[in-house]
Amino acid sequence: MALVTTTASTAETTSPQAGEPASPATGRSSRELPRWVSHGSLAVTLLVVLALYTYDLAASGYANSFYSAAVQAGSTSWKAFFFGSLDAGNSITVDKTPASLWLMALSVRIFGLSSWSILLPQALLGVGSAAVLFASVRRALSGRLSESWTITPARAHVAGLVAALTLALTPAATLMFRFNNPDALMVFCYVVASYFTVRATETASRRWLALAGVAIGIGFLAKMLQAFVLLPSLVIAYAIAAPASWKKKVVDLVVAFAAMVVSFGWYIAIVQLVPASWRPYIGGSQTNSILELTFGYNGFGRLSGNETGSVGGAGTIGGQWGATGILRMFTSESGEMVSFLIPGALLLAGVAFALLGRRAYLNALRGHEATGETVALGALSLYGSWLVVNGLVFSFMAGIYHDYYTVALAPAIAGTVALGGAVLWARRSSLAARVGLAAAALATAAWSVALATVPGGIYLALALGGAVALVLAAAGFLLGTRLVPALSRTALGLFIAGGLITPTAYSIQTATTPHTGSIVTAGPATSGLGGSSGRGGVGRFGGGAGGGFGGQAGTRTGAPPQGAGTRGLGAPNVGTGNVGGAGAGGGMGGLINGTAVSSDMVTLLSANAGSYTWVAAATGAQNSASYQLATGHPVMAIGGFNGSDPSPTLAAFKALVAQGRIHYYIASGSFGGSPSGGSNVSSEIASWVSSTFTAQTVGSATVYDLTTGA
């Protein structure tokens, strides 16, 4: 990719830093990286990321069985593929738009159903995110910054590599790019939209800005309204840095918004306009409406806590999703997954923004050609505001909140650290820049040690070693020009290495630990309100056997379950059956995680399976997913994920039974319905089945044959 070297005036020359000889013709540093070095270093970096994200990838089995079941269905039915159905019989969809499922289902169609084929696209999205972030940071820093100083191509390249590694080594990123939740695709779309916006700010390009809108639209198709949280940052960057009049900027932003709406609106229109009888029920909604799902359960309800059918209460103190507040990103599992570099990133961004001064954006506001300084300022405002805005949204959202959501902050932290650090390093002749670098180093040292005291052991030892490196780096920064250039560069190396050592250790632990279930955490620490395990689903709620909210053990192909999650205050919920491929094992069943499937159950459900649309029906998507993945045949999820959606109604279920389309009903204990106003149809169906048909026990499961009378 060509480096951008736009200048405010071709007559200007710059003075390189001491110890870096300048080219007589250009005034730029002669320390250019040879092509083999630049290409080779990027290739090695991305190979390291690929290795981290694909190492023993199948250890997590089917990871989140909820999405894996939908992937399995989409790999056998194009209708299920398009709508994101949980089963090939198309009874109900997942509670998200299905773009991330499309990638995984295509992989399964190519390679066959396995945990590896499901999770590989997620890992590749992680590598792609690192590569695009590298390109974005390098491009933002590749132009002339002022008459007095410059960031050379070599420095821009190194800053890009630091950004890529910082993103990849954030524990939350390592978790999600090895998992099958939709966050991986959404974050990739975030990073791509940011790159397009940086390109747009260089020349006030309407085309590049429209492409940023398209990227956000695709992100919407992955995780709905959460994709829009990035919009303020894109607008701020373009408004500050694009060299155009305000009139043109407004028109460009309107065009980009229209491109975004078109890029996701086609899908919403099709699903909303297709007759309900032609498509599956929209999971997560109470009225079979994708618009309700968009703006309610997956939209404003996440902010207010008013989510009909949700399993959790509002996120106040004592609420099931933890206490809201400004410290949420630091004091819960979230802090241990993402916050290592946040204090330093904010310090670097603040000082760098101040040092870039008014000139950069005044030129842009007057419609002058963008200087490299202007583009850097726009990129810094993009990633810095991304960190602040997303962090505040996560801190104060009162609805369903999971700590792995913080993966959305990883590119913002990485971009802010790389850009802010590069700007201050280039301006280190200024006392303010040196103080900013030193303060960031010391803040990172203190906070990394504070976080590492939770797991202790090797993690605390590494954090203390990193803190020593960061303190030495801070001293080197403050000494500034009193040091010879080699020692000055050593201080920079200590800064980078010291800051990354603790998150690297957490990320390696995350990559070498299986993760399964709906609620997973990264790293070794367990300090959150609900009590969590990085080794499995987080059991925040209690529940009885066969119901409630259980944890699920991580499983390896052909190996017994391992790394059980916790189950409220009860014992670990470890399944004994690992039937039907990796990840089929699990707990005794529940809402948050799947259920163990015995070989006897697989034999029973598979018998004459082709004669039925659904070989079985079970309350809750995680329960049904376990049976579907174990047998390879469609299993109806009554009530969707939470068991609280009105699908199917009791009358519709009776009709399907009368038509002979459902073979068995699998009882799931007492869970069904919702404490947050959802439908009780699953309980109604359970009562009707138990009073009409004869129960039999298969393994540890209670089963009713719906093709025979009571």
Weakest-pLDDT range from 142-146, 337-341, 568-572? 568-572
pLDDT, position 363: 58
* Any domain includes 361: yes
Residue pLDDT, tens place only, 89-98: 999 999 999 9
Determine the structural domain holding residue 635 and report its residue range: 599-705
User: Within this chain, do residues 485 and 609 fall inside the same structural domain, yes or no?
Assistant: no
Phi, psi of 637 (to 5 degrees): -95, 100
Instruction: Give residue 448's Cα distance to chain centre.
Output: 22
User: Within this chain, do residues 330 and 475 fall inside the same structural domain, yes or no?
Assistant: yes
pLDDT, position 429: 85
Strand partners, 665: 617, 704
pLDDT, position 577: 33
pLDDT, position 166: 97
Among 169-173, 431-435, 480-484, the range with the most confident prediction by mean pLDDT is 169-173
pLDDT of 449 > 60? The answer is: yes
Phi, psi of 268 (to 5 degrees): -60, -40
Q: Are the beta carbons of 139 and 199 closer than 8 angstroms?
A: yes
User: Within this chain, do residues 502 and 605 fall inside the same structural domain, yes or no?
Assistant: no
As a whole number, the mean pLDDT across the chain is: 82
* Any domain includes 65: no
pLDDT, position 574: 30
Amino acid at 396: F
pLDDT, position 658: 93
pLDDT, position 234: 97
Among 14-18, 255-259, 636-640, the range with the most confident prediction by mean pLDDT is 255-259
Higher pLDDT, 560 or 471: 471
Residue pLDDT, tens place only, 237-250: 999 889 888 899 99
Report which secondary-structure segment, H or E, holds 417: helix 410-426
Can you tell me the distance from the alpha carbon of 231 to that of 390, in angstroms, rounded to the nearest whole number?
10
Strand partners, 587: 595
Q: Are the beta carbons of 5 and 29 closer than 8 angstroms?
A: no
Under the banding of pLDDT at 50, 70 and 90, the label for residue 533 is very low
Can you tell me the distance from the alpha carbon of 546 to that of 702, in angstroms, rounded to the nearest whole number?
10
- CA distances from residue 347 to 329, 341, 441, 575, 607 in whole angstroms, order as listed: 17, 10, 10, 47, 64
pLDDT, position 13: 33
* Any domain includes 324: yes
Can you tell me the distance from the alpha carbon of 644 to that of 675, in angstroms, rounded to the nearest whole number?
9
For residue 439, give every residue at least 6 positions away whose Cβ sits within 8 Å of its Cβ, in sequence order, or none.
347, 351, 474
Token pair 């379950």: residue: 561
Whether the ω angle into residue 485 lies within 30 degrees of 0, i.e. cis, is no
Under the banding of pLDDT at 50, 70 and 90, the label for residue 34 is confident
pLDDT, position 643: 85
For residue 137, give every residue at least 6 positions away whose Cβ sits within 8 Å of its Cβ, in sequence order, or none.
156, 159, 160, 163, 379, 415, 418, 419, 422
Q: Which among 299, 332, 298, 322 has a CA at the least distance from the CA of 398?
A: 322
Last residue of a domain, one of 492, 507, 522: 507
DSSP string, 149-175: -B--HHHHHHHHHHHHHHHHTSHHHHH
pLDDT of 49 > 80? The answer is: yes
User: Within this chain, do residues 137 and 237 fall inside the same structural domain, yes or no?
Assistant: yes
Can you tell me the distance from the alpha carbon of 565 to that of 551, in angstroms, rounded to the nearest whole number?
5
pLDDT of 588 > 50? The answer is: no
Whether the ω angle into residue 648 lies within 30 degrees of 0, i.e. cis, is yes
User: What mean pLDDT do residues 489-498 have?
Assistant: 93
User: Within this chain, do residues 363 and 495 fall inside the same structural domain, yes or no?
Assistant: yes
User: What mean pLDDT do residues 571-594 have?
Assistant: 38
User: Within this chain, do residues 606 and 481 fall inside the same structural domain, yes or no?
Assistant: no
Last residue of a domain, one of 507, 529, 564: 507
- CA distances from residue 279 to 254, 265, 473, 640 in whole angstroms, order as listed: 33, 18, 60, 15
Residue pLDDT, tens place only, 667-686: 875 444 444 566 788 889 99
pLDDT, position 375: 86
Can you tell me the distance from the alpha carbon of 219 to that of 100, in angstroms, rounded to the nearest whole number?
9
* Any domain includes 99: no
User: Within this chain, do residues 621 and 484 fall inside the same structural domain, yes or no?
Assistant: no
The length of the chain is 710
Can you tell me the distance from the alpha carbon of 33 to that of 403, in angstroms, rounded to the nearest whole number?
40
Beta pairing, strands 635-638 & 695-698? unpaired
* Any domain includes 21: no
Q: Which among 128, 146, 133, 151 has a CA at the least distance from the CA of 4?
A: 151
Residue pLDDT, tens place only, 380-422: 999 999 999 999 999 898 878 889 999 999 999 999 999 999 9
User: Within this chain, do residues 473 and 621 fall inside the same structural domain, yes or no?
Assistant: no
User: Within this chain, do residues 499 and 603 fall inside the same structural domain, yes or no?
Assistant: no
* Any domain includes 301: no
pLDDT of 534 > 70? The answer is: no
Amino acid at 182: P
Task: Give the CA count within 13 Å in the CB-facing half-sphere of 75.
Answer: 23
User: What mean pLDDT do residues 510-516 have?
Assistant: 93
User: What mean pLDDT do residues 99-128 have?
Assistant: 97
pLDDT, position 47: 97
User: Within this chain, do residues 127 and 244 fall inside the same structural domain, yes or no?
Assistant: yes
User: What is the number of domains present in the chain?
Assistant: 2
Residue pLDDT, tens place only, 64-83: 999 999 999 999 999 999 99
Can you tell me the distance from the alpha carbon of 55 to that of 51, in angstroms, rounded to the nearest whole number?
6
User: What mean pLDDT do residues 618-627 have?
Assistant: 90
Last residue of a domain, one of 507, 542, 563: 507
pLDDT, position 8: 34
pTM, 2 dp: 0.86
pLDDT of 359 > 50? The answer is: yes
pLDDT of 41 > 70? The answer is: yes
Strand order in the sheet with 635-638: 635-638, 614-619, 662-666, 701-705, 695-698
* Any domain includes 139: yes
User: Within this chain, do residues 240 and 130 fall inside the same structural domain, yes or no?
Assistant: yes
Under the banding of pLDDT at 50, 70 and 90, the label for residue 527 is very low
Token pair 């974050």: residue: 187
Helix/strand/coil for 606: helix
pLDDT, position 326: 86
Other CB atoms within a 10 A radius of the CB of residue 41 amount to 15
Under the banding of pLDDT at 50, 70 and 90, the label for residue 144 is low
pLDDT of 543 > 50? The answer is: no
Weakest-pLDDT range from 197-201, 204-208, 324-328, 491-495? 324-328
pLDDT, position 615: 96
Degrees (nearest 5) of the Cα angle 544, 547, 551? Answer: 80
Other CB atoms within a 10 A radius of the CB of residue 1 amount to 8
User: What mean pLDDT do residues 172-179 have?
Assistant: 96
pLDDT of 132 > 90? The answer is: yes
H helices present in 180-299, as ranges? 183-203, 206-223, 231-241, 246-273, 290-292
Helix/strand/coil for 563: coil
User: Within this chain, do residues 495 and 643 fall inside the same structural domain, yes or no?
Assistant: no
Report which secondary-structure segment, H or E, holds 616: strand 614-619
pLDDT of 113 > 90? The answer is: yes
pLDDT, position 526: 58
Weakest-pLDDT range from 115-124, 429-438, 536-545, 602-611? 536-545
* Any domain includes 396: yes
pLDDT of 139 > 60? The answer is: yes
